[in-house]
């Protein structure tokens, strides 16, 4: 099939861009190097849209949460990621978590079945000299293509480390010690009957010993070129958090508030008391056989992980389906090298999408893929692109990537209300709801103005 546009990279962003263009009648060639004899340090399969880190798309609350608002907007744009996410959904409280294998299979099925999409397993080593192109190769862009991008931008690529949390087999968890409960017993329609998290309690002595173990454990050694590369604050290795102070973890991923240990029930506390610290595990697949350790992304060596994590109460016999890992991510200095339509300055036939632009997170990457696809569709249809309002989640994210952020200090960013035009006249307690209400209204008006570009 001859194609109207070439998309390089079959991750979340590339898959979304392909879907948006194909649905509008454009012929898409989607190139993915995995499955063609190539892979990356983080991927385990050659599936399109493989989730290499957490299985969570974070909060699905679109009433007072920025990422929940982004979910809402993506659904209104017929997002393939949101479609597949609903098929693969597993209980996770107010969050949207998925069975990663079911999710990837659903994305791949939809694209393979679409008559306007051709998936080709091939590695692309250089930016095309002509023809409409979207580069969505993600933070693990192959070296040859990365060098081509550096040559085209005139800027050396930036980098940070991203860490992966371990996954535990459910039947190896000691439920005589652990219990299932959502924090403050909050549940949604997708929740399990008892709750959505397995909780492993720690006493003060156990916590202090664990904290010291994180500091002392053998870490992954860095290569010379990896020295002084910054971590992304939203995916900080747990041992790096531990190095910031004894109680840092107790106010972060090991927070015990709102979790009642039933083993400590007494007349004064009939539901049980809060432990000193808690390790939480979240369901990772639909069968409920795999659970990931929430917030436990790590750069500890595998042997050190097994030794230390088995000291966690309830995980003394834990069997790990996957241990934590660490990989180097690369991204563009987008405010400097991309225009407002995600086009490469000086080579406007090339757009970038996804995490390579410096957005962070599954949902954000997917959203930028949607926008890149819509931008390309508008251009090929001979229509002017109308950017989403900055008061929307998509508009705020796009504005950050393409100009609002300082180029000198540009770092990956999750969507958050700090990217939105402020509402100083609204009381602080009501501000989140005000942001989402305004965003929904303005996004709906944007759609009514003809944002959905036809073929």
Of 146, 150, 128, nearest to 137 by C-alpha is 146
11 assigned to a ligand binding site: yes
Per DSSP bridges, beta strands 158-164 and 325-331 are antiparallel
214 assigned to a ligand binding site: no
Query: 199 near 259, Cβ under 8 Å?
Result: yes
Q: Which residues contact 341 (CB under 8 A, 6 or more apart)?
A: 351, 375, 379, 385, 402
450 assigned to a ligand binding site: no
Write the CA distances from 186 to 33, 259, 382, integer angstroms.
42, 11, 49
* Two structure tokens written together for 279: 């390790």
C-alpha–C-alpha distance, residues 274 and 264, integer Å:
9
> 């230390």: which residue's tokens?
308
> In the chain, how many H helices and how many E strands?
12, 17
85 assigned to a ligand binding site: no
13 assigned to a ligand binding site: yes
> 């994210």: which residue's tokens?
397
Q: Which residues contact 313 (CB under 8 A, 6 or more apart)?
A: 174, 177, 178, 200, 201, 202, 206
Of 273, 50, 321, 35, nearest to 171 by C-alpha is 321
Q: Which residues are annotated as a binding site for FAD?
A: 9-14
Q: Which residues are annotated as a binding site?
A: 9-14
């Amino acid at each position: 099939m001859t194609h109207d546009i070439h998309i390089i990279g079959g991750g979340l962003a590339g898959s979304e861009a392909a879907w948006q263009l194909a649905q509008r009648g454009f012929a898409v060639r989607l190139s993915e190097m995995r499955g063609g004899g190539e892979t990356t340090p983080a991927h385990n399969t050659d599936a399109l849209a493989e989730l290499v880190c957490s299985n969570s798309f974070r909060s699905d609350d679109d009433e007072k949460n920025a990422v929940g608002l982004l979910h809402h907007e993506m659904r209104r744009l017929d997002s393939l990621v949101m479609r597949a996410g609903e098929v693969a959904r597993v209980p996770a409280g107010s969050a949207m978590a998925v069975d990663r294998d079911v999710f990837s299979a659903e994305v791949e099925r939809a694209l393979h079945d679409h008559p306007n999409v051709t998936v080709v397993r091939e590695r692309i080593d250089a930016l095309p000299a002509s023809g409409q192109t979207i580069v969505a190769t993600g933070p693990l862009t192959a070296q040859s293509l990365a060098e081509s991008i550096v040559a085209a931008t005139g800027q050396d690529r930036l980098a940070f480390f991203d860490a992966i949390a371990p996954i535990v087999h459910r039947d190896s968890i000691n439920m005589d010690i652990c219990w299932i409960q959502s924090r403050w017993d909050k549940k949604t329609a997708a929740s399990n009957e008892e709750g959505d998290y397995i909780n492993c309690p720690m006493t003060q002595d156990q916590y202090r010993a664990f904290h010291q173990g994180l500091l002392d454990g053998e870490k992954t050694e860095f290569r010379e070129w990896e020295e002084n590369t910054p971590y992304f604050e939203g995916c900080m290795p747990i041992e790096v958090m531990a190095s910031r102070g004894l109680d840092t973890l107790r106010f972060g991923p090991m927070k015990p508030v709102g979790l009642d240990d039933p083993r400590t029930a007494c007349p004064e506390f009939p539901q049980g008391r809060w432990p000193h610290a808690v390790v939480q595990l979240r369901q990772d697949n639909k069968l409920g056989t795999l659970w990931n350790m929430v917030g436990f992304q790590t750069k500890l060596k595998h042997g050190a992980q097994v030794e230390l994590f088995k000291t966690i109460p309830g995980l003394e016999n834990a069997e790990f389906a996957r241990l934590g890992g660490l990989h180097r991510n690369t991204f563009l200095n987008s405010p400097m090298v991309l225009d407002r339509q995600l086009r490469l300055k000086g080579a406007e036939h090339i757009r970038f999408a996804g995490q390579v632009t410096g957005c962070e997170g599954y949902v954000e990457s997917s959203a930028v893929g949607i926008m890149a696809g819509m931008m390309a569709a508008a251009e090929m249809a001979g229509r002017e692109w109308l950017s989403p309002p900055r008061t929307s989640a998509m508009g705020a994210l796009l504005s950050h990537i393409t100009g609002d952020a300082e180029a000198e200090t540009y770092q990956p960013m999750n969507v958050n209300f700090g990217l939105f035009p402020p509402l100083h006249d609204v009381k602080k307690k009501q501000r989140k709801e005000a942001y989402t209400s305004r965003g929904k209204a303005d996004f709906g008006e944007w759609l009514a103005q003809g944002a959905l570009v036809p073929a």
